[in-house]
Amino acid sequence: MVSILKVDKIQKPNSDSDMIVFPTTVGGETTVTGLGEHVLQTVHYEHYETVTGANNTYYYWGQSGVYDVSITTRKNNSYIYFNTRIFGEPSGHNAYGRFLMAPDDGDYALIKTVTAGQNGHLKLAPYEYTGDYNSTPYQNTFHTVIDTSAYTAGTKLSFRMIILGNQTMRFNSAYNSGILYETAPSSLTLQELNNANTAIYRVGDNVGSY
């Protein structure tokens, strides 16, 4: 005889669990897996204003302060997908950007990047080498997955970018601020991912805080 149990809702025992175990009277237990979502949350920032950042200063995607660009984890041992687009034009070819992360409004540290050369995450490349600051701006992108296994659920992770290379950077337009028709926003998307459904593969030497 087969019994059928109809329920309206099944709830996980805690926020870290990706399975539910049902005890049985016949030799053990039954496990239901795969209940965790892949994308736990998404936080998106967009910046439309035209601003200039000097060498060795920070960029916050239009936010007003150091800790305003952030995501707060909902699960232990999750991952953060970091996906940014930086639109604009620097004053010269040596400009590059690095991204840093701070847990719970603490100290910022570099997220993983290559060990060789300038240790940059992205090149802030001008459109032309001739120094034509009326030229078309450039769209720079960088993506990575950040392992948050060192932090528990409820940890606030804040981000910022530092401008390096002894150049200034004009965000969201051409370097010449008078060319207002060559504008576009910069953006940052932060997604918390379920560690049970995420794989990270990296090749080569790198340095960073995670």
Structural domain includes residue 10: no
The total domain count for the chain is 1
Rounded Cα distance between 198 and 39, Å, is: 10
Structural domain includes residue 4: no
Structural domain for 97, as ranges: 39-207
**Confidence category of residue 57, pLDDT binned at 50, 70, 90:** very high
**Confidence category of residue 114, pLDDT binned at 50, 70, 90:** confident
Whether 27 has a pLDDT exceeding 60, the answer reads no
- CATH code of residue 113: 2.60.120.1340
Rounded Cα distance between 56 and 97, Å, is: 10
Structural domain includes residue 22: no
Taking the alpha carbons at both ends of the chain, their separation in whole angstroms is 54
Whether 199 has a pLDDT exceeding 70, the answer reads yes
The reported pLDDT for the residue numbered 34 is: 47
Amino acid at 140: N
The reported pLDDT for the residue numbered 156 is: 97
Structural domain includes residue 8: no
The reported pLDDT for the residue numbered 174 is: 84
pLDDT (mean) for 178-189: 83
pLDDT (mean) for 165-172: 92
The reported pLDDT for the residue numbered 188 is: 98
Global pTM value: 0.80
- Dihedral through CA 161, CA 88, CA 138, CA 131, nearest 10? -110
The reported pLDDT for the residue numbered 80 is: 97
